[in-house]
Amino acid sequence: MAAHAPEGDPPRAATRTDVARAAGVSTAVVSYVVNNGPRAVAPATRARVLAAMEELDYRPNALARALRMRSAQAVGLIVPDVSNLYFGALARELSNRAFDQGYAVLLGDADNDVDRERAQVDSLVGRQIDGLLIVSLGDELPASAENVPTVFLDQRDRPGRRSVVADDLDGAAQAVSHLIGHGRRRIALVNGPAGSPEAVQRERGWRETLDAAGLPHDESLIVRTEFSRAGGLDAALRLLSQDERPDAVFVASDVQALGVLAAARRLRLKVPDDLAVISFDGTEEAAFSDPPLTTVEVPIDRIAETALRAVLSPEPADAPTFVPVRLVIRETCGCPEPTGG
Amino acid sequence: MAAHAPEGDPPRAATRTDVARAAGVSTAVVSYVVNNGPRAVAPATRARVLAAMEELDYRPNALARALRMRSAQAVGLIVPDVSNLYFGALARELSNRAFDQGYAVLLGDADNDVDRERAQVDSLVGRQIDGLLIVSLGDELPASAENVPTVFLDQRDRPGRRSVVADDLDGAAQAVSHLIGHGRRRIALVNGPAGSPEAVQRERGWRETLDAAGLPHDESLIVRTEFSRAGGLDAALRLLSQDERPDAVFVASDVQALGVLAAARRLRLKVPDDLAVISFDGTEEAAFSDPPLTTVEVPIDRIAETALRAVLSPEPADAPTFVPVRLVIRETCGCPEPTGG
DNA sequence: CTGTTAGCGCATTCAA
DNA sequence: TTGAATGCGCTAACAG
C-alpha cells in the first residue's frame, strides 16, 4: 500500500516529478516514455517508469504540455445555435473527427448574436486554439482571430478566406429544374431571412433556373422568413392565399417545409397534387413528415471532414470549397411513389 | 511606427513581458492592471500599461494563466449525440450560461458508444476541466474523473453522485392520468430502448398510474424501441394491429410520437378520436406535428441552470435533483381544441 | 505603489 | 541511455 495520506492536505494529482522520483529516474526519462520519444529508453527503465505511473495513477497535464508546445491540440467551433438540427449535426461530425485526431473542441454558441460571437472568438483565441471553425453571423472576425487558421462554414462572401460550404446555388437549381420537369409553371420560393447568405444563393439558383425556363420569378412569388416551422407556416399561408396560387414551392430548409406542409393541410391543399414541395437540407425530419419531403441533401459529414482537414493544414485557399449536394426524391415533388403503397 | 519586423522571423504574439518592457514597468504591474488586482496601480502607470497593451495588441494567454491558477475556467460537456434535438438544446443552454460566467465548454460527443465516452472523459480531465457535465451511457465513469466535480444529466441510478434530471416519473403519471381523465381505458406505452434509464422511469410512471386506476398494463401494451421517428412508427404499427386495439398511447419521446402519428395515418386512424396520444420532451417538433402533440415539457433551461450551478459549486448532494415537468395540452390528447379553429 | 522572483507541469537541449 | 537545467506565459507572494 502507498503511504497513508496525512489527513487534511489537499490531494494534489501526481506530476511527472513524482513519477520520476518514484521510479528513480529523471523527469526527462519519464517524458521520453510518456511520449515514446524523442529519445529511446532502456526496456528495464521504461518498465520501472510505467510501474510508477500506474502506482501513482499519473495523468499528464495537457495544459502544461500545451503551454510548452505552443499548441493546445484544440479547435474552436462557433455556431449561431447548436440546438439547430443542422448545426448540431455539424458539431457532432466535427467533434468526432477532431477527437479521433487528438484534438479537443471548444464549443461556442453565439446565440444568434454577432457581438456575442465576437466575444466567443476572443475567448477561444485567448485559449490558444489551433484553429477556428465558424458559422459566422458577421462579415468580419475580430482582430484576435488574425493569426488563427480559420475556416468559415457559412455562405458569406469573404474573398481570400477559406470556407467550406454546400453548393447552395446548384442545389436550388436542381430542385427548381425538377419541379419544372413535373410541369409546374408557377414556382414560389419560401426563403430564409433577407440577411442570410445561404438564402441569397438559394434564391439566385431559383431565379436563374426559372429565368432560363422563361417562367415567372417576381417578388410576389417570394417570402423571406425565419428558418423555423412557424416561419414556413406563415410564409406558405401568405403565398397560397394569393389570387394566382403557385402550383409548387421551393423551400430553403426542411424545417420551413414542415410549416409549409402544415399550411397546405390547413388550406385543404393536397401535396403534391395541388402543391409540389421541395426543400433543402436533407435532415431526418424530411423523411418523416407527411408526406415525406423531397429535399436537397447537404452532406454534412463531407463538409465536416473537408473543413477539419482545411483548418488543420496550413495551405491557404482563395476560393471557397463547394461540397456537392444531391436531390433526394420522396413524395412531395410529384414523382410516382417509390414504394407502390 | 513600430520597428519593422525583420523578414522571415515567425511573428510571435506579444506577451506580458513585452508589454512590461514597452510600458517601462514590471510584469507584476501588468498583471495587476490586466486582472484589476490584487494590488492597486497608480492611474498614470495604468494608463501607460493600457497604452502598451493596445500598441502591442496584447492578448493574455489563458493557458498559462490556467496552469498557474490550477483552473482552466472550463467545463466539459459529454453527450451521447449532440445532433439529437434534446442534447443540442442542452448544449446550447449550458454553453451560453457557462460563457456568461467566464467558462469555456469542451464538447465531447460520445457517438453513442460507452468506450468512446470513457475516452472523452479521460481526454477532458487531462485538459484540467473544472467540472464535468455528462449524459452518460454507462454506470461508472473512468477513474480519471474521480477528482473532477461531476454532475450527471441522465436518469441512471448512481447513489452518492450528483445528478440533475427531469422528473420523468411524475411526467409519465401526469400524462397517463390525463388520458384516463379522457375516459381512455386501454393505454399503451411506446417506450425507449430497454437499456435507457429514462425509459425505466417513464414506464414506472405509466404502470403505477394505470395500476392505481385498475387499468391493464401488461406486456402486450408495451413496445420498447429506439428514440427515433422510425422506432415510433414500427412500435405503433405493432401495437395498433393487435386484436384489442389500444385507444390511447403514451409515447416516451416527441420524435417517437411523430412516428406514431405516421402509423395512425397509415392505418386510417383518427387522432385523437380513435387514438389519443401524449408524448414526452416538449421540443419544437411537438408543436408542429399534425395534429400538434400534447406533450410533457421538460424545462431544459432550468436543468442547464441547475446543473451548471451544481458543478461549479462544491456542495455535495446525495439525492438527485428533480426538475419538475408540466403537461402542455395541444390536440392529440382529446381535449377540446384550444383555438376554436 | 512597484519590482523581483519563484514556481505551475511539461518538453527538450546540452552534457555526461 | 540518462540527467540537469532552461523556459513556455502567467500570478502572487515578498520585499522594498
Q: Are A275 and A249 in contact (CB under 8 A)?
A: yes
Scanning A83-142 for CB atoms below 8 A from B yields 83-85, 87-89, 91-92, 95-96, 99, 104-109, 111, 116, 119-120, 122-128
Name the closest nucleotide to B27, judged by C1' and CA.
C3
pLDDT of residue A318: 78
Q: Are A33 and A50 in contact (CB under 8 A)?
A: yes
Residues A161 and A173 in one domain: no
CA of A211 to C1' of C13 (A): 69
| Domains: count for chain B | 3
Query: Which residue minimizes Cα–C1' distance to C9?
Result: A64
As given in the structure block, the three cell numbers for residue B123 are: 481526454
The answer to whether B301 contacts chain A (CB < 8 Å) is: no
- Determine, yes or no, domain membership for A312: no
List of chain A residues whose C-beta atoms are within 8 Å of the C-beta of residue B76: none
Cβ–Cβ of B92/A83 closer than 8 Å? yes
The sign of the CA dihedral A310, A316, A320, A326 is negative
pLDDT of residue B284: 81
pLDDT of residue B241: 92
Q: Are A79 and A87 in contact (CB under 8 A)?
A: yes
Cβ–Cβ of B288/A109 closer than 8 Å? no
Which domain-ending residue is among B165, B188, B216? B165
Rounded-to-integer distance, Cα A260 and Cα A233, Å: 5
- Determine, yes or no, domain membership for A236: yes
Which of A92, A106, A233 is facing B104, going by the closest CB pair? A106
B290 → chain A, closest CA residue: A262
Residues B93 and B207 in one domain: no
Cβ–Cβ of A288/B229 closer than 8 Å? yes
Sequential pLDDT tens for chain B (341 residues): 333 334 444 568 999 999 999 999 999 999 999 998 788 888 989 999 999 999 999 999 999 999 999 999 999 999 999 998 889 999 999 999 999 999 999 999 999 999 999 999 999 999 999 999 999 999 999 999 999 999 999 988 888 899 999 999 999 999 999 999 999 999 999 999 988 888 999 999 999 999 999 999 999 999 999 988 889 999 999 999 999 999 999 999 999 999 999 899 989 999 999 999 999 999 888 987 888 999 999 999 999 999 999 999 978 777 899 999 999 999 999 998 654 33
Q: Which CATH number fits the domain that encloses residue B208? A: 3.40.50.2300
Quickly list DSSP for A181-229.
Answer: HTT---EEEEE--TT-HHHHHHHHHHHHHHHHTT----GGGEEE--SSH
pLDDT of residue B341: 30
A82-91 pLDDT, tens digit per residue, is: 998 889 999 9
pLDDT of residue A338: 54
pLDDT of residue B145: 95
Residues B146 and B244 in one domain: no
Cβ–Cβ of A258/B288 closer than 8 Å? yes
Average pLDDT over residues A318-330: 94
State pTM to two decimals: 0.90
- Determine, yes or no, domain membership for B65: no
Which domain-ending residue is among A103, A131, A165? A165
Residues B199 and B279 in one domain: yes
As given in the structure block, the three cell numbers for residue A199 are: 438564402
CA of B4 to C1' of D6 (A): 29
pLDDT of residue B340: 35
Q: Confidence class of residue A337 from pLDDT cuts 50, 70 and 90?
A: low
pLDDT of residue B229: 87
- Determine, yes or no, domain membership for A9: no
The answer to whether B69 contacts chain A (CB < 8 Å) is: no
Distance from CA of B113 to the nearest CA of A (A): 11
Query: How many other C-beta atoms can be found within 10 angstroms of the C-beta atom of residue A105?
Result: 24
**A&B contacts, CB < 8 Å:** 156
Quickly list DSSP for A290-301.
Answer: SSPPEEEE--HH
The answer to whether B230 contacts chain A (CB < 8 Å) is: yes
Say if residue A340's pLDDT is above 80.
no
Residues B77 and B51 in one domain: no
Residues A153 and A264 in one domain: no
Summary mean pLDDT of chain A: 92
A41-57 pLDDT, tens digit per residue, is: 889 899 999 999 999 99
Name the closest nucleotide to A20, judged by C1' and CA.
D3
Q: Confidence class of residue A164 from pLDDT cuts 50, 70 and 90?
A: very high
CA of A27 to C1' of D4 (A): 10
A96 → chain B, closest CA residue: B109
H/E element, A307:
helix A300-312
Q: B149: number of CA atoms within 13 Å, CB side?
A: 17
Which domain-ending residue is among A123, A150, A165? A165
List of chain B residues whose C-beta atoms are within 8 Å of the C-beta of residue A92: 81-83, 109, 111
Say if residue A3's pLDDT is above 50.
no
Name the closest nucleotide to B48, judged by C1' and CA.
C2
Rounded-to-integer distance, Cα B152 and Cα B16, Å: 39
Which of A95, A230, A290 is facing B107, going by the closest CB pair? A95
Sheet strands (E) in A225-337: 248-251, 276-281, 294-297, 321-323, 326-328
Which DSSP symbol is given to A164?
E
Cell 453565439, residue?
A: A110
Say if residue A157's pLDDT is above 90.
no
Say if residue A187's pLDDT is above 90.
yes
Residues A289 and A183 in one domain: yes
As given in the structure block, the three cell numbers for residue B170 are: 411524475
- Determine, yes or no, domain membership for A115: yes
A258-307 pLDDT, tens digit per residue, is: 999 989 998 999 999 999 999 999 988 898 788 899 999 999 999 999 99
Rounded-to-integer distance, Cα A254 and Cα A238, Å: 18
pLDDT of residue B336: 86
Name the closest nucleotide to B15, judged by C1' and CA.
D9
% of chain A exceeding 70 in pLDDT:
95
Supply the angle between the helices A114-126 and B85-100 in degrees, to the nearest 10.
70
Residues B82 and B50 in one domain: no
Rounded-to-integer distance, Cα B280 and Cα B255, Å: 9
- Determine, yes or no, domain membership for B37: yes
B90 → chain A, closest CA residue: A83
Strand D nucleotides with an atom less than 7 Å from a protein beta carbon: 1-5, 7-14
List of chain B residues whose C-beta atoms are within 8 Å of the C-beta of residue A59: 122, 125-126, 144
Cβ–Cβ of B262/A111 closer than 8 Å? no
Cβ–Cβ of A95/B83 closer than 8 Å? no
Query: Which residue minimizes Cα–C1' distance to C6?
Result: B68
pLDDT of residue B8: 41
Q: Report in angstroms the alpha-carbon separations of A259 from A207, A266, A274, A293, B62.
A: 22, 11, 16, 12, 45
Three-class SS state of A124: helix
A71-124 pLDDT, tens digit per residue, is: 999 999 999 999 988 899 999 999 999 999 999 999 999 999 999 999 999 999
Cβ–Cβ of A128/B91 closer than 8 Å? no
Rounded-to-integer distance, Cα B139 and Cα B281, Å: 23
As given in the structure block, the three cell numbers for residue A58 are: 499519473
Supply the angle between the helices B85-100 and A85-100 in degrees, to the nearest 10.
80
Residues A30 and A89 in one domain: no
**Helix, strand, coil share (%) of chain A residues, nearest 5:** 45, 15, 40
Distance from CA of B200 to the nearest CA of A (A): 26
**Burial of A71 per CB tally in 10 Å (0-12, 13-18, 19+):** middle
Cβ–Cβ of A229/B147 closer than 8 Å? no
Residues A44 and A84 in one domain: no
- Burial letters for B88-118: b for 16+ Cβ neighbours within 10 Å, e otherwise? bbbbbbbbbbbbeeebbbbbbbbbeeeebbb
pLDDT of residue B338: 54
- Residues spanned by the domain of A188: 168-298+324-328
Residues A154 and A118 in one domain: yes
